[in-house]
Amino acid sequence: MDVYPIVHKNLIFNVLTDEDMSFVEIRKLLDYLLEEKAFDSSQGGLLYEPEVYEIYIDEYHYVVDVQDYEVAIYKREKKIDVMEN
């Protein structure tokens, strides 16, 4: 996995991924995680305790692991619309 340091909303994140993603897409993912307080150590867990999230944004499904300010993107796949056929 490649590591991409990104400054977003005055915070520094390390995004780890093998996926080809745009900055807009990564920022939407980080915004979602910030809204979910994924980086907030007061949520009951230790700051370094990893948490896995399944996220649906726009037409993609992501599986990400958040540990401190590192975000590992394990899966990125296009959502399938079961009503298409």
Integer Cα distance of 71 and 13 in angstroms: 7
Domain range annotation of the chain: 2-78
Report the percentage of the chain scoring pLDDT > 70. Answer: 84
**Can you give the pTM of this predicted structure?**
0.81
Instruction: Convert 68-81 to b/e letters by CB count within 10 Å (16 or more is b).
Output: ebebbbeebeeeee
Residues whose CB is less than 8 angstroms from the CB of residue 59 and which lie 6 or more positions away in sequence, other chains included: 78, 79
Closest CA to 4 of 74, 50, 72: 72
pLDDT digits (tens, 9 = 90+) for 58-76: 999 999 999 989 999 999 9
